[in-house]
Structure 1
């Protein structure tokens, strides 16, 4: 089954035809109303949007399993189809034809079954990459970045860029090695994961000193939110090593709490929308982004809906600049 924004004719009694407009409020809630691909074996796209409605890794405020569905719903407001998005500040059109973006639905997670869920996530990511598309993933809690990274094991060396209020380098709190506080440590143990850059760190008690020491021993580049703002966008980008391939993981709590209350661990002192997106634009222009995720959106904690809108627009903006870089390199 496929749906999209393109107009098509329908036939009513005696051959009368109408042009279907397909407004944002109508139809099925795929991400930004992009076509749906239900079988990854048939995938033919530049970017494949994948939902991961999983929050078994959360130790306190759950609910980000509902993130993908709500982000999809909100994103329909911004559907533009083949026309793409015109940016008047850059005088450029992003995500317009012939760009191909599809929504491949959700990874087949099973709540309470961590191994099965992680296998399903890893499979989906690896299959999307096998088909030559870039996975754009909506979480879900941050533990999903562990199987996402596993799904990139055939890519050779991959540099990871994390945008997050938290270090996520816990080892095994309470014996749990696969929680949402541990993805960066787990990735550091994978042979194909190369350098790491962690941007936006802040807040009392966000990690233990020994976790910071372990991250430094790995030689991860640690940039606090205050340092990032002091450095400015270009200064932050200068700290990111040149690499053949980047995997970018975005925790919604990298944004300031005023923009993103809908998450399990919101934190004041975070980034503005423009600052964070300028960093993402710089990353897209710097190198080859082969995968990204946006995690920890828990919509029930934000009755205004602002968090899901920030998430949807951040994804669309990043997707546009990733593909624009590819277009310019052709």
Structure 2
């Protein structure tokens, strides 16, 4: 045999699906009625030294789900039943936002507007990046909505890096500053950051600033010692939570398609336990999945792993909506 067997064909998938999991396309955001909506953002504010290096991430993750498109109603053992318990709980795929290289302000505004529209429609936004500058305008939109409704927010970041630089390469809106910018938002009262390890862009002063603000850090080695249950105790019951997931939080052995590989990362099960636990304790208001770089992937294993995390997130949110 000279080529890999087509698993999708074996399952009955047509192999021509272009949306994530073959879900219904919803290009008109103002008409979304689904409980959650996936939307791709190829980038926001890239550094000039690397450009929009994760721009192909959203479509690569969609492609990774083609094998499962004929099996949405089969039993998912990670969720204990169908991915979506009822058809009306299915997510929709809103496609990719327009992306203009060299126009970061326009990119950020497109993301802010899209997330604000989905929140207004009552959908949980699932933002698929793109580099880790993409969450900044998403968080701004969620914050504005929370302020209008008089709610406070908890941010759970799952990432190998803490992203607390005030500025890097004369840019304050880049991927190294995401959590610093989150800390400045009016409704963000708690930030829990899980998975940091190795050497990243953070300086000693950045860590000190984060701790002074009140961040709770759970480095990768600490997480492996205390587990997800202990981390979830740091999330207040009844909290409104935004979950920010960087692909490099996971171990490169199962998700190699990232720019900054570091040993000692979380497993697929670890991340799923955190997502499921947050939904049990509070309410997931928005999620992002960023920093997947298909050009660095190995045999599609990273795309499969990250796509499965998105799928599991959809199932968890669907169950939370179903439970009321």
Distance 1:69 1:87, change over 3 A: closer
1:79-126 C-alpha deviation (Å, 9 max, x unpaired): 257x53523476433313231311011122212101100000000000
Corresponding residue for 1:72? 62
Corresponding residue for 1:98? 88
What is the CA RMSD across the aligned residues, in angstroms?
Answer: 1.9
CA contact (8 A) 1:53 1:106 kept: yes
Please tell me whether residue 49 in structure 1 is matched to residue 44 in structure 2: no
CA contact (8 A) 1:169 1:183 kept: yes
Instruction: Give 5+ residue unaligned stretches, structure 1.
Output: 1-21
Higher Cα Rg, which structure: 1
Corresponding residue for 1:129? 119
TM-score by structure 2 length?
0.89
* Structure 1 runs (4+) greater than 6 angstroms displaced: none
Please tell me whether residue 274 in structure 1 is matched to residue 269 in structure 2: yes
Given candidates 154, 176, 191, the residue that maps to 2:145 is 154
Taking the aligned partners of 1:318 and 1:128, their CA distance within structure 2 comes to 17
CA contact (8 A) 2:89 2:322 kept: no
Corresponding residue for 1:84? 73
CA contact (8 A) 1:253 1:263 kept: yes
CA contact (8 A) 1:199 1:225 kept: yes
Taking the aligned partners of 1:243 and 1:179, their CA distance within structure 2 comes to 31
Distance apart, 1:189 and its partner CA:
1.0
Given candidates 219, 225, 228, the residue that maps to 2:220 is 225
Corresponding residue for 1:3? none
Please tell me whether residue 304 in structure 1 is matched to residue 299 in structure 2: yes
Taking the aligned partners of 2:272 and 2:80, their CA distance within structure 1 comes to 17
1:9-59 C-alpha deviation (Å, 9 max, x unpaired): xxxxxxxxxxxxx94343331011000011112111111010001164244
Q: Which moved more, 1:253-262 or 1:59-68?
A: 59-68
Given candidates 277, 281, 285, the residue that maps to 2:280 is 285
CA contact (8 A) 2:176 2:201 kept: no
Please tell me whether residue 166 in structure 1 is matched to residue 161 in structure 2: yes
Alignment size in residue pairs = 307
Corresponding residue for 2:181? 186
TM-score by structure 1 length?
0.88
Distance apart, 1:63 and its partner CA:
2.3
Corresponding residue for 2:7? none
Taking the aligned partners of 2:74 and 2:275, their CA distance within structure 1 comes to 17
Taking the aligned partners of 1:202 and 1:324, their CA distance within structure 2 comes to 32
Instruction: Give 5+ residue unaligned stretches, structure 2.
Output: 1-10
Taking the aligned partners of 1:226 and 1:254, their CA distance within structure 2 comes to 12
CA contact (8 A) 1:251 1:294 kept: yes
